[in-house]
Every structure is written in C-alpha cells, then in structure tokens.
Amino acid sequence: MRALDSKLPQVGTTIFTLMSQLAEQHRAVNLSQGFPDFRPPLELLELVERALAGRYHQYALMPGSMALRAAIADKLAALYSVRVDAAAEVTVTSGATEAIFDAIQAVVRRDDEVIVFDPCYDSYEPSITLAGGRTVHVPLTGSRFGIDWDRLKSALSARTRLVIVNSPHNPSGALLDSADFERLAELLRSYDCYLLSDEVYEHVVFDGAKHATALAHAELRERCVAVFSFGKTYHATGWKLGYAVAPAALTAELRRVHQYVTFASTSPLQQALAEYMTAHPEHHLKLPEFYQERRDYFARLLAGTKFRPLHAAGTYFQLADYSAISSLPDVEFARWLTIEHGVATIPISVFYREPPDARLVRFCFAKENATLDAAAERLRRL
Ligand code: PMP
Ligand code: GLN
C-alpha cells in the first residue's frame, strides 16, 4: 500500500499535550494546559453518582437530553435575555470542540474561506481544513488584543463563508463587547457568511464586566452558532460536554454532522447537569468573583518575579512578558522553564500564522493557591 497522504500534514501533537507531558516528565508545576485542579461542586458529583446508580446508561437523545436543553434555554433567558427553542435550537455535544467541528463541517465547503483571529485556538484550522476550506488569519492588535476592523474588512470577500470569534479570548483574556458585535454585524451584513462565536469562558470575566454573547445581537443571531462548554463552567474539563446554540435551520445542518460524529453525548452526565443547573442557577453567577480572586492572587505572586503580566480581562489565563528574564523564542523558553525551573506554561506563538516578535507565555491560574504558590516560589528564583 502507498504511504497514507496526510489530510492534516501541518498538524503535530497539540501544544497542550506536549507541555503537559513535559511537565509530568520533569515534575514541573503544570500551569500550561488549561484545566482546574479543584473539583466540581460536591452536589453535582452526588447527582452524577445518582444518575450512574439509576437508569441513565443508554444513548441520550441525539440532540441532547431534553431536560438539559430546557435548562440551557432557561439559563440563556435568565442571564442574557436570549430566547431559544430548546427543542430546535440547542444541541448538546461532546465538548465545545465537537460543537466547533460540527458547525464548521455544516457550513464550510471546498475552497470557502474562514476568517479567524490570531492568536487563535488550535482546533479551528484543522476543522476548516478537513471541510476543504481555507483559513484566513487576521491578527488581533495591540497589548489588548483587539480586532483591527480595517484588516477584517479587507479580509472579507464573497468567498468568506464563516468568521470565528472567541470571547473571552484564549489565550489573551480579551473581551468583545456589544459595540464590537454591532460593528461585526455591520461588516457581515453584505456577505453570505456565518458567524461561529466561541464563548466557552462566558463566566470568567472580571472587574464587573458582563459577558456579551453574539446571541443577544438580533441580526448576528440569525447567522450565528454560539458554542459553550460545561467543562469550563463546572470545573470538569474531562467530562467533555458542551453545546451549540443556532437558529433551527442551521441547527438542523449541525445535527446532521453531530449524529455521525458522536450521535449522542454521555447520558448520565447530561442528567446530572440538568438537575444541578435547575437546582443551582446561582452556580455560574459566582464564577466571575471566584476566578477574579485567583487572577488577583496570581498577579500578586507574579509581582515578586521578573515576569510582566499583561491586562487579563477574562478567561483563566494570564499572559506574561518574560523579556526581563530571557531572549529565547517562546517555544524554547517554555521548554527551558519547564525542564530547568519546574514550571510549565504555553508559548503563544503557536497560535499564530505569523507570530509577532514578542516574548509572551500563558499561565493557567485555575489552580489551588498551593499550586500557584509552588509555581511562584520557582519563578521568583529567575
Ligand atoms: N474553545 C476554546 C477557546 C477553548 O479554550 C477550549 C478549551 N479547551 C475549547 C474551545 C474546547 O472546549 P471543550 O473542552 O469543551 O471541548
Ligand atoms: N483549551 C485548553 C487550553 O487552552 C486545552 C484543551 C486541550 O488540551 N485540547 O489550554
């Protein structure tokens, strides 16, 4: 047989896996891959046990448990005043990653262009490539990682099929506000183009800011798939559950893909989440404060080091400039820091098509204070 021609020749092992493996190998404090080291709420875990002891062992409904979709619709109404039809517009997926993949396969055809903003989450481009599309990279600008509207305008064309935005933004923590969505709506108005809005960190916003969802913009709502993740909201990234919200016709196409990617997502966890969301609608209301305390705690620790933190408006990531410590490029710096000094981070150049000449790494601060203390003790020695 001929050697297999890769459909994704540019793709290697993800930076998250590489850095977590390196961290384990060198017993480093792992602030690289984004996951909390604290547990989901105890009551949620009890509900999972109850679901497992009960009758939730067979396939869930293809679009997701009806109870869970109803809880999601209630939440969107209460939190964002966004009304959705739980039956026709909400689809539960195996993580936001699956929702992103399904949405891209549903709308992108051969040679269609998809605009992404760099630094850009790593799953978008491979999903676009597998759909036969072309990824057009538009860099975010400045230390606040804002959209350069002129560059976006020049990138848009009749070939553009999809634009992908991510707010709160991984890895920069930048937020889009409702004025940004208004501007985006104006630019997209004359194109036959969809919007994929990755809002997995919707509850991790700081300093009194409110998350702006693309779904709240009436015009964008018509062309938008918004994706969310239970992993982020319930400190359970390993459960791999998320959901997509889109108008009925778009949802129908997304489900055509979903039903042949996973068919349905894990049923006992869906049941437990539905019950927990109904009993504890206040859970996510406490998350901004919960994570802001961690952000501020970590910022105080970094103040005792030579790292210079950038402004962090949202997400559980903190970017920091290391140019006072080293002139190594970030991938080498991150390896050196892990191997020689026992702290693992994520270099951010890997999220760019054309990396800027910056000396930035990303720390994940979704960690117990003791973990952050242990990292800081090592970082102070640099
Ligand atoms: N989008 C972004 C921006 C993320 O950071 C993540 C989390 N890793 C995902 C999507 C994927 O979420 P999930 O773990 O639910 O698949
Ligand atoms: N989204 C997580 C991060 O940004 C990692 C997800 C993964 O490992 N694929 O760190």
- Could you read off the pLDDT of 178-223 as tens digits, one per residue? 999 999 999 999 999 999 999 999 999 999 999 999 999 999 999 9
Task: State how far Cα 254 lies from the chain centre.
Answer: 19
The ligand with the least distance to the CA atom of 196 is 1
Tens digits of residue pLDDT in 275-300: 999 999 999 999 999 999 999 999 99
Q: Which atom of ligand 2 is nearest to the CA of 346?
A: 10
**∠ CA 332-336-339, rounded to 5°:** 135
Cα 62 to middle of ligand 2, angstroms: 26
Among 35, 125, 229, which is best to mutate for testing ligand 2, by the most ligand atoms less than 8 A from CB?
35
- Give the residue among 366, 119, 112, 334 at the shortest CA–CA distance from 229: 366
Residues 6+ apart with CB under 8 A from 36: 235, 237, 316, 366, 367
Share of the chain above pLDDT 70, in %: 100
- The pTM for the full model equals 0.98
Q: What is the mean pLDDT of residues 9-18?
A: 94
Cα 233 to middle of ligand 2, angstroms: 14
- Is 121 near ligand 1, meaning CB less than 6 Å away? yes
Can you tell me the distance from the alpha carbon of 102 to that of 110, in angstroms, rounded to the nearest whole number? 16
Can you tell me the distance from the alpha carbon of 161 to that of 108, in angstroms, rounded to the nearest whole number? 6
User: For residue 353, what pLDDT band results from cuts at 50, 70 and 90?
Assistant: very high
Q: What is the mean pLDDT of residues 146-169?
A: 98
Phi and psi, residue 251, nearest 5°: -60, -40
Q: Which atom of ligand 2 is nearest to the CA of 17?
A: 8
Q: Which residue has the tokens 């103040």?
A: 303
pLDDT of residue 95: 98
pLDDT of residue 1: 87
Q: What is the mean pLDDT of residues 14-19?
A: 95
Mean pLDDT of the chain: 97
Can you tell me the distance from the alpha carbon of 137 to that of 204, in angstroms, rounded to the nearest whole number? 26
Q: Which atom of ligand 2 is nearest to the CA of 123?
A: 9
Cα 34 to middle of ligand 2, angstroms: 5
What's the one-letter identity of residue 373?
D
Can you tell me the distance from the alpha carbon of 161 to that of 104, in angstroms, rounded to the nearest whole number? 10
Q: Which residue has the tokens 């204070």?
A: 369
Cis peptide before 168 (omega within 30 of 0): yes
pLDDT of residue 370: 98
User: Strand order in 194-198's β-sheet?
Assistant: 90-93, 242-245, 224-229, 194-198, 160-166, 113-118, 134-139
Q: Which atom of ligand 1 is nearest to the CA of 169?
A: 3
Tens digits of residue pLDDT in 84-127: 999 999 999 999 999 999 999 999 999 999 999 999 999 999 99
- Is 33 near ligand 2, meaning CB less than 6 Å away? yes
Q: What is the mean pLDDT of residues 127-142?
A: 98
